Structure 1
Amino acid sequence: MDTADLRPQVDVPSTALFTDQYEFTMLQAALKAGTAERRSVFEVFTRRLPAGRRYGVVAGTGRVLDAVRNFRFDPDVLGFLRDRGIVDEPTLDWLSGYRFSGDILGYPEGEIYFPGSPILRVEGSFAECVLLETVILSILNHDSAIAAAASRMSSAAGGRRLMEMGARRTHELAAVAASRAAYIGGFDSTSDLAAGFRYGIPTVGTSAHAFTLLHDTERDAFRAQVDSLGGGTTLLVDTYDVAEAVRTAVEITGTGPGAVRIDSGNLLLVAHRVRQQLDELGARDTRIVVTSDLDEYAIASLAAAPVDAYGVGTQLVTGSGQPTCSMVYKLVARATSADPGAPLLPVAKKSTAGKQSVGGRKWAARRRDAQGVAEAEVLGTGPLPPEFEGGQLLVELVKSGEVVGEEPLDAARERHRAAREALPLSAVQLSRGEPVIPTEYIG
């Protein structure tokens, strides 16, 4: 599915105010000091993975490119900044002509990352780069957290289908982003129609308990649903008595519905009982779908159950307990003057324990063994070693202000599948542990 062809053409509002005020006050001070035009290199990275996670997943890159493209200052935005007295008139004049003209490189969407990985590198003048910090971090921190949770759930599901259904458990706009990130991480479909409309993700959904309760009997509800949606529909069988509902579902459809959904109770036990009952009634092709506050651990516990698909909501859209990746956006190099030919000087924060960073513009590569399994995340600021020629992880996303790195969503989804398969087997263990491969720095 080439989702690039499915995305609707809409008038996207400016993203310039998806930011923190201090980005603008820094800009104003730098303009006055004459340092705003110094060439600068910012990198996005995380100092550590969320507790217990073995790897991270890059997601949100496509949304970052949209945000950069639409980061502009129209009259309404400038009026807001002026009315609030956030910046002075010279700064407003500078902002009125703002368009990012620098370069952005990064790990391609769906790729795996580890502590220190330069997930995104933003290079240009200090003035144009510093303004992008908050919007870039808000997108990458949210989407990468969801994608990592989705990846863990996908591993636990062992090839069984996964449906994202968490729209009602988060902000309406976050729900769309979460669906996109979950799809990259391995989910097959979403219940959120806005995500289907915006990104071409397959959508699913049939009925809730309210539909059964609306009718005088469960039989009437099932009949109405089958008459409307056909015998291949999914019938929700745990509103009243599960065994009776399954029996009714098979009677109404003749050979059994396409699937039955179980949304409560001891899912392992109920799934076995329902499978046995369906088989005894001749509905051997009817699938079993389970929902009800699932996470990767619950999915793994159902590995031996006769379940065909999982529907996941709350735990997915909240990152399964890790709703952010703690990514940061740090200046790692800057020119010694505003002269276009001035050399770059590596810089890094050194003062606070636990928050140090490594200065300098970095390259990144992944060392693999003879079987192609990842052994280490290798980062460096000096010359690229010959053995990593052609194997760098960073790719061009924006060149001289022009977006060059857009791709279909399915490309990111497939990239993640391949990257995860190239990790050591311990990467998919759900028990707490350290990153599955170490990060090594080469000076």
Structure 2
Amino acid sequence: MSTSAGWDRPRTSFYTDHYELTMLQASLHSGAAHRRSVFEAFARRLPDGRRYGIVAGTGRLLEGIANFRFGEAELDFLGRTGVVNQDTLDYLANYRFSGDIWGYPEGEAYFPMSPILVVESTFAEACMLETYLLSVLNHDSAIASAASRMITAAGNRPCIEMGSRRTHEESAAAAARAAVIAGFDSTSNLEAGIRYGIKTVGTAAHSFTLLHDTEREAFEAQVASLGPGTSLLVDTYDVEAAVRAAVELAGPRLGAVRLDSGDLVAQAQWVRQLLDELGNEDTKIVVTSDLDEFAIAALQSAPVDSYGVGTSLVTGSGAPTASMVYKLVSRTDDAGNFVPVAKAAKNKTSMGGRKYALRKLNDHGIATQEIVGIGRRPEDDGNDRPLLQQFMKNGELLPGWTGHEGVLRARQRHADTMAELPPVVNRLQRGEAAIPTIYEEY
């Protein structure tokens, strides 16, 4: 499936904060705006008790940076409200990001202080991306990290993203994309389907049953319209009566029954037994109802075939942000030489200097450390894996990181990185990061 060529990507320059533009104005005044600079996005820590995070949102971000422009409406607003002066407006009228961007590919695991994104350009170009960049990476990475834990808990059973009604309409499409990157099978969100080529699914809600005079009439209409392979929601009234009616109407080709309330473990067990007794051994059981990774893990012993996950997924399952920051770590001096820079604060650790990263692997191909080199690339023992890939060069998008192709590539990267991490990542219990981050200064 391919994305729609007709999707009109919005201009992204106003998905930012006022102070990005006042910094720009002041740096243009001082002459420092055009100094070459290196910014890095990273998380100082993982959400409390989490053992790893998953990078997501980079493809969306790259598309947004390509549309980071200031048109007539934006320039008029900035001038009319006095946000910036005329010299700054003249600069913004011709703004186009012309730098280089590297980062961890989407779907890759990250740990505290991993240099998830590295942006090199002029200060003027790079500083204005801060708010937009962080809003995308923080949201999508939080969703992907939660989704990854849910996929781990689900084992080989597929998960469906169904959280659109629990979040902002734009966040819903982004959440669906992030969830699929982390292993979800499909989404209920049509916007995500047309934008990113993601499989969409859905049948009926309780309101469809309540619309009809009887549950049987509702089932008859759904089967007649959508075919016997449809999924029938069987907990509006009496579950046993609904299952029996569903089998009678659709026969052994009934695709699935959905359970959305009650004791899902016990209910799934006796519904499975009833379906088998009625000759519907191939009819699947789908469960929904406020699932998270812990509820999914509790259902491992139940005869459930797939899970529909909503609220907990789109809110990051208790960690709605990845807490990433975007910091200037290096810039040129008056002689044109790069010098490391960093804020001095005891409670907000950051390291100056351009970073490079690789994942150290043991003889069995299992990750043991995240090595971050300051100043140059760390030494590779021969089986270690470099983590930073280039996404943009001289302001031009490199192929393969966006659209449907980018989603598929990220989904495979997630599967590969999870297979590479130590088994501790499969535990839902609170704990330290699965592997330590080690700095090497050169």
TM-score range, shorter chain: over 0.9
Match of 1:417 among 403, 415, 418: 415
Q: Hey, what does 1:392 align to over in structure 2?
A: 386
State yes or no: 1:435 paired with 2:425: no
Contact 2:372-2:378 at 8 Å conserved across structures: no
Alpha-carbon distance between aligned partners in 1 of 2:440 and 2:379, rounded to the nearest angstrom:
13
Alpha-carbon distance between aligned partners in 2 of 1:260 and 1:11, rounded to the nearest angstrom:
38
Q: Hey, what does 2:400 align to over in structure 1?
A: 406
Q: Hey, what does 1:167 align to over in structure 2?
A: 164
Alpha-carbon distance between aligned partners in 1 of 2:313 and 2:47, rounded to the nearest angstrom:
15
Deviations 1:251-294 (A, max 9, x none): 11122511000000000000001001001111111000000000
1:255 aligned counterpart, secondary structure: helix
Contact 2:370-2:436 at 8 Å conserved across structures: yes
- Write the mapping of 1:135-284 to structure 2, written as runs, cut at 5 A: 135-255=132-252, 257-284=254-281
Matched to 2:319, the amino acid is Q
Moved over 3 A (4+): 388-391
Contact 1:268-1:302 at 8 Å conserved across structures: yes
Matched to 1:422, the amino acid is E
Alpha-carbon distance between aligned partners in 2 of 1:385 and 1:76, rounded to the nearest angstrom:
47
Alpha-carbon distance between aligned partners in 2 of 1:232 and 1:419, rounded to the nearest angstrom:
35
Deviation at 1:421, TM superposition (A): 1.1
Deviation at 1:388, TM superposition (A): 5.6
Deviation at 1:332, TM superposition (A): 0.2
Deviations 1:117-158 (A, max 9, x none): 000000111000000001000000000000001000000000
Q: Hey, what does 1:115 align to over in structure 2?
A: 112
Alpha-carbon distance between aligned partners in 2 of 1:283 and 1:356, rounded to the nearest angstrom:
59
2:387 aligned counterpart, secondary structure: coil
Deviation at 1:386, TM superposition (A): 3.8
1:41 aligned counterpart, secondary structure: strand
1:36 aligned counterpart, secondary structure: helix
Matched to 1:359, the amino acid is G
Matched residues, number: 436
Contact 2:357-2:377 at 8 Å conserved across structures: no
State yes or no: 1:349 paired with 2:346: no
Contact 2:357-2:373 at 8 Å conserved across structures: yes
Alpha-carbon distance between aligned partners in 2 of 1:287 and 1:163, rounded to the nearest angstrom:
14
Contact 2:361-2:385 at 8 Å conserved across structures: no
State yes or no: 1:320 paired with 2:317: yes
Q: Hey, what does 1:53 align to over in structure 2?
A: 50
Superposed CA RMSD? 1.2
Alpha-carbon distance between aligned partners in 1 of 2:191 and 2:376, rounded to the nearest angstrom:
46
Alpha-carbon distance between aligned partners in 1 of 2:251 and 2:416, rounded to the nearest angstrom:
42
**TM-score, normalised on structure 2?**
0.97
Q: Runs of 5+ in structure 2 lacking a partner?
A: none
Contact 1:398-1:405 at 8 Å conserved across structures: no
State yes or no: 1:309 paired with 2:303: no
Contact 1:363-1:384 at 8 Å conserved across structures: yes
Closer, same or farther in 2 for the Cα pair 1:19/1:322, shift >3 Å?
Answer: same
Alpha-carbon distance between aligned partners in 2 of 1:360 and 1:388, rounded to the nearest angstrom:
23
State yes or no: 1:379 paired with 2:372: yes
**TM-score, normalised on structure 1?**
0.97
Alpha-carbon distance between aligned partners in 2 of 1:385 and 1:313, rounded to the nearest angstrom:
41
Alpha-carbon distance between aligned partners in 2 of 1:7 and 1:160, rounded to the nearest angstrom:
29
Alpha-carbon distance between aligned partners in 2 of 1:268 and 1:192, rounded to the nearest angstrom:
27
Q: Which moved more, 1:378-387 or 1:18-27?
A: 378-387
Match of 1:363 among 356, 368, 393: 356
Contact 1:249-1:256 at 8 Å conserved across structures: no
Contact 2:373-2:440 at 8 Å conserved across structures: yes
1:248 aligned counterpart, secondary structure: helix
1:365 aligned counterpart, secondary structure: strand
Contact 1:62-1:406 at 8 Å conserved across structures: no
Q: Runs of 5+ in structure 1 lacking a partner?
A: none
Matched to 2:424, the amino acid is S
Deviations 1:143-191 (A, max 9, x none): 0000001000000000101100000000011000000000001100000
Alpha-carbon distance between aligned partners in 2 of 1:356 and 1:153, rounded to the nearest angstrom:
31
Q: Hey, what does 1:133 align to over in structure 2?
A: 130
1:59 aligned counterpart, secondary structure: coil
Deviations 1:333-384 (A, max 9, x none): 01112x6xx110100111x322020000010000000000000000011343
Alpha-carbon distance between aligned partners in 2 of 1:78 and 1:196, rounded to the nearest angstrom:
34
